[in-house]
Amino acid sequence: MLQKLKILDATLDKLEDIDDKSFLFQSFKDVNSEIEKILFEIKNDESNFEKNNLTEDQIKTFKDLLNKIYRLETKFLPKANLLEEFSKSNP
C-alpha cells in the first residue's frame, strides 16, 4: 500500500513538472491517465483503508498527498477550464 502511495506521489510530481515547463496537453493526459490507474489500484485494495490498519507513516503520506493534490488542482483547474472554453469556441 505504501509503495503505491509513493508511486502516486512521484506521478503527481510529474504533473507538477508539466506545469513548470511548457504545458503540453498530451503530456498532461498521459500523466493524468497514470494517476487514474494508480488511484484505481488503491481503491480496489480497500481492505488496507481500515483505520486500524493504517500506520502513522501511511496517515502522514495520505495527508501529504491530499495537500499536493489540492495544490495541483488550484494550479491546473484554471488551465483546464481555459482549454475547455477554447475547445467549445473552436468548432
pLDDT tens for the chain, 91 residues: list them: 678 888 888 888 888 887 777 767 777 778 888 888 888 887 777 655 555 567 788 778 878 888 888 888 787 777 776 776 776 676 5
**What's the angle, vertex CA 18, arms to CA 35 and CA 77, rounded to 5?**
70
Q: Which domain holds residue 33?
A: 2-89
**What's the angle, vertex CA 9, arms to CA 54 and CA 44, rounded to 5?**
55
**How many domains are there within the chain?**
1
Closest CA to 35 of 63, 15, 20, 59: 15
pTM over 0.75: no
